[in-house]
Chains A and B, each alone.
Chain A
Amino acid sequence: MKKILTVAAIATLLIACNTENRNTDVQDVRKLDIATLETSAGEFENQTIQVSGMVLHVCKHGGQKMFLTTDSTEASLLVRVGPSIPEFDVSLEGSNVEVTGKLVATVVSNTEEEHDGEGDASAASSEPADCPTEEALKAVGEGEECTTSVTYHIEATSFKEIL
């Protein structure tokens, strides 16, 4: 029993010491607005950016994604939780938030739909692309007709409510 308690104490200590630094280096973060991303998201692909907006919707089946918008655009931006964020609480709906994270591109073919069990909102800031990147073309198969588009989302590393 003493051994078990010792192991449990060490495990607790390890968990307590797991204070991973979740703050992104602010020097590398570029502040953008959703309207800018709507027109030129491709320029910021794989970069760490910071975006502010009102939370339009939080997916109710797990809180793994939310959609942001602003008054200046009708587009909405999909934000997914990153490894350091457990979930987005539904109470964020209607709040203004500032999100920091990596802008990630997803190539979607016309015959392909995203199914991850949370597909109850569709918009996301998207940039239709007639012929996306070379890598994307490779992904959908060489020689096939170009019927793909690229959508962008943020993989959030941190977020906070703002006034």
Chain B
Amino acid sequence: MKWRKWNRWIHRELGYLFFGMAIVYAVSGIALNHHIARHWNPSLVERVEQVPNVSPVPRGEVTKEYVMQILEATGEMDNYKQYYFPNDLSVMIYLDKGHISVNLETGETNLVKIRNRKVFREMNFLHYNKPKQLWTYFADLFGLSMVILAITGLFMVRGKKGIRGQGAVLLAIGILVPLVFLLIYLWS
């Protein structure tokens, strides 16, 4: 039938056109899934390094020289930005891509290095629609195309393995699984 020819054509062309988008949204979707589940931060890598403790001093005695000593001990002299007191008991030394936090009461010192996670950061940037403006419409177009791809995909194969046979079973499973989760976690 002619409609099947059109169905294949639409499925094929949209499939090629939005391959890149599908990868971006699928990979970042997995990443964001685990972000929401608090497994990791897909955009940033944060590493805490143990460094030797410093001698405890009261806030009033924290000088630039004191900060410089810490920077020298941690090898972060070249990355220094400035320092700040979040409260009377600690000082935060800001670095390029990180910071050093010092507990002034105990002298406990932590070096935190932060960097963007490559590839995932870019994908999440797009998935979160951070570019806004025209990207919004392109992403909408992709979303709409995914619906069309899903519908046209149902009618790609005829016969026993198509929508009137095995395909119907798989289709039902794919619809039932999210419904079961909604039943358990939302509607119960």
- A residues near B (Cβ < 8 Å) are 4, 11, 14-15, 18, 20, 54, 56, 60-63, 69, 83-84, 86-87, 89-91, 93-96
Contacts and interface: CB of A to CB of B under 8 A. Distances in A.
Contact of B133 (A20, A62, A63): A20
A90 B81 CA distance: 14
Nearest to A96: B82
A62 B43 CA distance: 8
Contact of B131 (A4, A60, A86): A86
Given A4-B13, A93-B94, A83 B132 contact: yes
A11 B84 CA distance: 48
B148 interface: no
Given A18-B134, A86-B132, A91-B97, 6 more contacts: A60-B43, A62-B43, A63-B43, A86-B125, A89-B116, A93-B99
B87 to A, nearest CB: 9
A90 B13 contact: no
B96 interface: yes
A3 B43 CA distance: 37
B82 A54 contact: yes
Contacts, number: 49
Contacts of B182: none
Contacts of B99: 93-94
A56 B133 contact: no
A56 B84 contact: yes
Contacts of B108: none
B17 interface: yes
Contacts of B82: 54, 94, 96
Contact of B134 (A14, A62, A91): A14
Nearest to A11: B138
B80 to A, nearest CB: 9
A96 B94 CA distance: 11
B21 interface: no
Contacts of B128: 62
Interface in B67-102: 81-82, 84, 94-97, 99
Contacts of A11: 138
15 contacts: A15-B134, A18-B133, A54-B84, A60-B41, A60-B43, A60-B46, A69-B84, A83-B132, A86-B131, A86-B132, A90-B116, A91-B114, A93-B114, A94-B94, A94-B99
Contacts of A93: 94, 99, 114
A25 to B, nearest CB: 20
B23 interface: no
A20 B134 CA distance: 11
B130 interface: yes
Nearest to A95: B81
A61 B131 CA distance: 16
B55 to A, nearest CB: 24
Interface string B106-140: 00000000101000000001001011111000100
B169 interface: no
Contacts of B95: 94
B44 interface: yes
Contact of B130 (A14, A54, A87): A87
Most interface-central of A20, A89, A90, A95 (chain B CB within 10 A): A90
